[in-house]
Structure 1
């Protein structure tokens, strides 16, 4: 029986499937060596993409390191692929109870929160595995996310025992600055790792910053 993986915090890598496949897999392999804890495939597919094949390639690397693999938004792919562990929703999903019935098996789930603490309450009530705030800092990857105040993250940590991630323009430097203002469990990144010359070393820098103990 397949052991269900867990999400507890750490470095959460969001993969851009529009990248050239070999480069994407090499960046992922290096990041996994560095110690990332979660991988999500962003639903930014290139035209004509073979989604199931790409998921299988990515999952082959994630499985070796026992890192959970999630898909962004497209929960139907959990029915089509045995290689996915869960789904990340960009907000509270409509008809969540129907989604649970349709998937028909345990899966990991998280949502993006854009500064609305009602989203935290909903996720906690529905037994989600984590929440992620977007965006803490301006970022091209974060798209239309509004800027979230550290005080909101601090309040969210009082409301739930779920892991709380922060995202949007996160660097090792501003992680430390943010830790001085609010507690959080993990950091979600895209370009911060995918554009790095040495993703393995960059992950270690993120970990060092995340483990910083604020006074």
Structure 2
């Protein structure tokens, strides 16, 4: 879930409603950057847009069962960091040209 909750009064309640829809279908719900909401919601994990400066502290604060991922773009050092920190997944942005994803350079298949 993208971390743009403008206008929502009760963010944890909204997240839990989404989780209630997704769980019966075995679809994990990942929060974008807002790791502190993991304890207050039924979300399954966290997706970071960049390496968190206090990752070790964050990792200790969340459940061992929480999925953790990171967007790598095409930076091999970020990929190495993700491997060394045993993240559950990495993602790339974007692989194909898109008018909605203009904040990242295209990732070459060779990088993947």
Whether TM-score is above 0.5 comes out as yes
Q: Is the counterpart of residue 60 in structure 1 residue 20 in structure 2?
A: yes
Higher-RCO chain (CA-CA 8 Å, sequence separation at least 6)? 1
SS of equivalent residue, structure 1 residue 87: strand
Give RMSD over aligned pairs.
1.4
Match of 2:4 among 41, 44, 55: 44
Q: Which residue of 1 aligns with 2:38?
A: 78
- Runs of 5+ consecutive residues of structure 1 not aligned to the other structure: 1-40, 154-215
Task: For residue 100 of structure 1, report the CA deviation from its aligned partner.
Answer: 1.3
Measured against aligned partners, the alpha-carbon deviations of 1:29-58 in whole angstroms (never above 9, x if no partner) come to: xxxxxxxxxxxx111223234211111111
- Following TM superposition, by how much is the alpha carbon of 1:137 offset from its aligned partner in structure 2, in angstroms? 2.2
Cross-structure match for 1:95: 54
Q: Tell whether 2:87 aligns with 1:128.
A: yes
Aligned counterparts of 1:128 and 1:148: Cα–Cα separation in 2: 20
Q: Distance in 2 between matches of 1:63 and 1:138?
A: 32
Between structure 1 and structure 2, the one with the greater Rg is 1
TM-score by length of 2: 0.90
Normalising by structure 1, we get a TM-score of 0.49
CA distance in structure 1 between the aligned counterparts of 2:6 and 2:99, rounded to whole angstroms: 18
Q: Which has the higher helix share?
A: 1
